[in-house]
Amino acid sequence: MTSRVSAILLAAGSSKRMGKMKQLLPLGGKPVIMHCIDTIIASGITDIIVVLNPGGKEIEEAIRHLHLTIVFNNNPSSEMAESVRIGLQSVRDDSSGILICLSDYPLITSDTLKILVTWHEKKPDKIIIPVYSNKRGHPNLFPKLCADEIFNGFTLREIVHRDNGRIQLAEVQDEGILHDMDTEDDYKIITQVYLKQLNT
Percent of the chain with pLDDT over 70: 96
* CA 78 – CA 87 distance, rounded (Å): 14
Number of domains in the chain: 1
Residue 51, amino acid: V
Write the single-letter amino acid at 11.
A
Going by the DSSP 8-state scheme, the letter that residue 126 receives in this structure is S
Q: What is the pLDDT of residues 152-187, one digit of tens each?
A: 888 888 998 888 899 999 999 999 999 999 899 999
Q: The CATH number of the domain where 176 resides is what?
A: 3.90.550.10
Give the pLDDT of residue 106.
96
Question: What domain range is 147 assigned to?
Answer: 5-198
